[in-house]
Amino acid sequence: MRFIGDVPEHDLTYSDVFLVPSRSGVGSRMGVDLSPDDGTGATLPIVAANMNSVTGPRMAAALARRGALAVLTQDHALDDTIASIDWVKAQPIGLASPHVAGPDETVQLVLERVPAIAGHAVVVEDADGGFLGAIPAERLGHALADATVGDLLHSRLPELAPADAVDGRTMFAALEREGVEVAPVVEGGRCVGVASRLGALRDDLYRPALDGQGRLSVAVAVGINGDPGAKAAALVAAGADVIVVDTAHGHQEGMLRALEAVRSQVGDAVPVAAGNIVSSDGARDLVAAGASILKVGVGPGAMCTTRMMTAVGRPQFSAVMDTATTAIELGARVWADGGVRYPRDVALALAAGASSVMIGSWFAGTIEAPGRLQRDGQGRLFKESWGMASTKAVLGRNAGLDAYELARKTLFAEGISSSTILLDPQRPSVEDLVDMITSGVRSSFTYAGADSVPAFRERARVGVQSAAGYEEGKALPVSW
Ligand SMILES: NC(=O)C1=CN([C@@H]2O[C@H](COP(=O)(O)OP(=O)(O)OC[C@H]3O[C@@H](n4cnc5c(N)ncnc54)[C@H](OP(=O)(O)O)[C@@H]3O)[C@@H](O)[C@H]2O)C=CC1
Ligand SMILES: Nc1nc2c(ncn2[C@@H]2O[C@H](COP(=O)(O)O)[C@@H](O)[C@H]2O)c(=O)[nH]1
Ligand SMILES: [K+]
């Protein structure tokens, strides 16, 4: 990456900068390979953040199916996290994970998980996992709230066989033949996944992130306290594909000790990410202690109050640029963590040198995020989000402490405890957001004449703009 003018003397964030097109030999946006060069095996440069409101097993499976990663949080008990890894590893690759409901569940309850939007389905199973039928999600929108989903099975979706879903084109043709957008795939009396027309197109467009056994990949976070080495070893044994050692102040000696412990336990079996840091000194120390990926960003996160509470942090574009330069010299890579609100921010993070970009709050408002779907005063669907250093998260994480210690911990909260993230009715699924992000970023690459993440990092030309320049780039929803 280079600046088109003088290198600015002050630090910059995403809205301060823009990309200038340059001569390109990349003739099609489909000729771009978005795989990050971070050793994770992902094929998209997107990682869902280890936040309780963002990543659970369903988010992890949905993203890995398209080639991105998600990081399960450090806040759950080891057994629960291992159960989540097992769930991800058992999920289908070319089909969506079913939204399962019991026949006696009410429509109202199911609507907390699945919105009444076309392109999705509810699969009804008995207590033993036997398939009873499936209904299109939009059917929930005109059923009584206290009706049971079992009652709705009289107008059920047709079923497909595994042979109908061997590849995207076959699946699309089968759905067209049946005249539906979405259908369950059933084998031996059990639903093995859900086929959809959009899913069929995506199966041909994306390459899944898979482990050595051909199962979906998943990353898992550990904190720096307790016994992070033993925890990481147990998680890797359970199938975790990347370990993320995560704490607010990543450039502290507790982190260096934790990283050394993790590396001594897991060896080179998996990439180890660590953070958060924002300086090249931090990058050097964490790589020396065993990190192969650095998680970069202090304060840009949407749920984060660190900058206002402490003045600590650094504008994110410069933080990524500085740490990535050092990391790459040392053979490590950077994930740009936080502050991403538009596809342009992902492109700019990659231009600054990141291999992948971590997204939290934006993904909290999707079907796959763990929270309950709720409606606000205007009837809009939303999910709740909160910061991992908020009072809410601190209380949850430290529930075992005595009341005095707990009260003391909450004095140091550095995050928002409750925020509402709207579900975009046009893009309710994280896969819809991935489509939007990757189409923007593929286009950024061709404007720069780059067909890969390393080539884009090399070729990107960046200018600095005023607030008016940034404003000019926005679309106008109404006339002036
Ligand atoms: N990217 C960002 O800007 C930030 C992210 N977060 C996220 O919040 C989650 C919780 O992280 P964290 O609060 O580190 O919790 P952890 O449970 O990981 O504990 C952090 C440890 O570091 C010690 N510590 C020393 N200085 C600090 C400091 N300035 N801030 C926080 N801890 C410090 C704490 O001790 P003691 O409590 O006694 O001080 C504690 O032992 C993580 O997911 C983290 O990524 C949080 C803040 C900023
Ligand atoms: N200072 C805090 N930072 C937080 C908190 N919770 C999460 N985070 C960080 O934000 C990113 C995600 O950023 P987003 O803009 O995409 O939402 C996450 O990975 C953490 O690094 C918090 O409570 N305080
Ligand atoms: K912020």
Q: Are residues 171 and 318 in the same domain?
A: no
**What is the distance in angstroms between the CA of the first residue and the CA of the last residue of the chain?**
36
Domain tally, the chain: 2
> What is residue 168's three-state secondary structure?
helix
Could you tell me which of 299, 308, 300 has the C-alpha nearest to residue 339?
300
Amino acid type, 71? V
Could you tell me which of 81, 76, 79, 78 has the C-alpha nearest to residue 393?
76
Q: Are residues 357 and 316 in the same domain?
A: yes
* pLDDT band, very low/low/confident/very high, at 413 (cuts 50, 70, 90): confident
> What is residue 335's three-state secondary structure?
strand
Helices (H), 77-184: 78-89, 107-110, 168-178
Q: Are residues 177 and 293 in the same domain?
A: no
Q: What is the CA radius of gyration of the chain?
A: 23
Residue 399 in any domain: the answer is no
Query: Is there a contact between 133 and 194 (Cβ–Cβ < 8 Å)?
Result: no
* pLDDT band, very low/low/confident/very high, at 472 (cuts 50, 70, 90): very high
Query: Is there a contact between 60 and 208 (Cβ–Cβ < 8 Å)?
Result: no
- Catalytic entry in 68, 175, 304, 327: 304
Q: Are residues 77 and 215 in the same domain?
A: yes
The pLDDT mean for the chain works out to: 96
**Does 247 count as an annotated binding residue?**
yes
Greatest CA span in the chain, whole angstroms?
68
Give 11: exposed, middle or buried? Use CB within 10 Å, 0-12, 13-18, 19+: middle
What residues line ligand 1, using a CB cutoff of 6 Å? 50, 223-225, 246-249, 252, 254, 276, 297-299, 301, 304, 306, 338, 388-389, 412, 414
Q: Are residues 462 and 343 in the same domain?
A: yes
Bridge partners of 2, per DSSP, are: 461
User: CA-CA distance, 12 to 317, in Å (whole number)?
Assistant: 6
Residue nearest to atom 18 of ligand 1 (CA): 247
Q: Are residues 66 and 103 in the same domain?
A: no
Residue nearest to atom 5 of ligand 2 (CA): 387
Write the CATH number for 63: 3.20.20.70
Residue 451 in any domain: the answer is yes
Write the CATH number for 146: 3.10.580.10
> What is residue 243's three-state secondary structure?
strand
pLDDT at 83: 98
Query: Is there a contact between 35 and 441 (Cβ–Cβ < 8 Å)?
Result: no
Residue 421 in any domain: the answer is no
Over residues 389-418, the mean pLDDT reads 89
User: CA-CA distance, 404 to 373, in Å (whole number)?
Assistant: 34
Q: Are residues 224 and 304 in the same domain?
A: yes
Dihedral angle over CA of 24, 30, 31, 37, nearest 10: 100
261-271 tens-digit pLDDT: 999 999 999 99
Residue 69 in any domain: the answer is yes
Residue 381 in any domain: the answer is no
Which of 151, 176, 203 is the C-terminal boundary of a domain?
203
- Indicate which ligand has the atom closest to the C-alpha of 394: 1
Instruction: Identify the domain containing residue 157 by its residue range.
Output: 99-203
Residue 152 has pLDDT above 90, yes or no: yes
**Does 298 count as an annotated binding residue?**
yes
Residue 388 in any domain: the answer is no
Residue nearest to atom 16 of ligand 2 (CA): 360
Q: Are residues 137 and 222 in the same domain?
A: no
Q: Are residues 227 and 355 in the same domain?
A: yes
Residue 456 has pLDDT above 90, yes or no: yes
Over residues 283-298, the mean pLDDT reads 98
User: CA-CA distance, 358 to 319, in Å (whole number)?
Assistant: 14
Count CB neighbours of 472 within 10 A: 10
CA distances from 424 to 56, 58, 248, 362, 428 (A): 20, 19, 30, 10, 5
Which of 187, 203, 219 is the C-terminal boundary of a domain?
203
Residue nearest to atom 25 of ligand 1 (CA): 249
Count CB neighbours of 405 within 10 A: 11
Which of 160, 181, 203 is the C-terminal boundary of a domain?
203
Q: What are phi and psi of 412, to 5 degrees?
A: -100, 20
Could you tell me which of 208, 219, 212, 171 has the C-alpha nearest to residue 65?
208
Query: Is there a contact between 388 and 415 (Cβ–Cβ < 8 Å)?
Result: yes
Q: Are residues 53 and 124 in the same domain?
A: no
pLDDT at 76: 95
Residue 279 in any domain: the answer is yes
CB of 415 shorter than 6 A to ligand 2? yes
User: CA-CA distance, 158 to 174, in Å (whole number)?
Assistant: 10
∠ Cα 222 42 458 (to 5°)? 110
DSSP labels for 258-279? HHHHHHHHHTTSS-EEEEEE-S
* pLDDT band, very low/low/confident/very high, at 399 (cuts 50, 70, 90): confident
Query: Is there a contact between 417 and 385 (Cβ–Cβ < 8 Å)?
Result: no
Ligand 1, residues 76, 247, 392, 398: which to mutate, most atoms within 8 A of Cβ? 247
Q: Are residues 459 and 310 in the same domain?
A: yes
User: The complex's ipTM?
Assistant: 0.95
116-146 tens-digit pLDDT: 999 999 999 999 999 999 999 999 999 999 9
User: CA-CA distance, 221 to 103, in Å (whole number)?
Assistant: 36
**Does 246 count as an annotated binding residue?**
yes
- Indicate which ligand has the atom closest to the C-alpha of 385: 2
Residue 168 in any domain: the answer is yes
Q: Look up the pTM and report it.
A: 0.97
Share of the chain above pLDDT 70, in %: 100
User: CA-CA distance, 119 to 425, in Å (whole number)?
Assistant: 12
Tokens 């720096």 — which residue? 224
56-103 tens-digit pLDDT: 999 999 999 999 999 999 999 999 999 999 999 999 999 999 999 999
Q: Are residues 73 and 30 in the same domain?
A: yes
CA of 371 to the centre of ligand 3 (A): 22
Report the run of H or E that residue 472 belongs to, with start and end: helix 467-472
∠ Cα 164 168 171 (to 5°)? 25
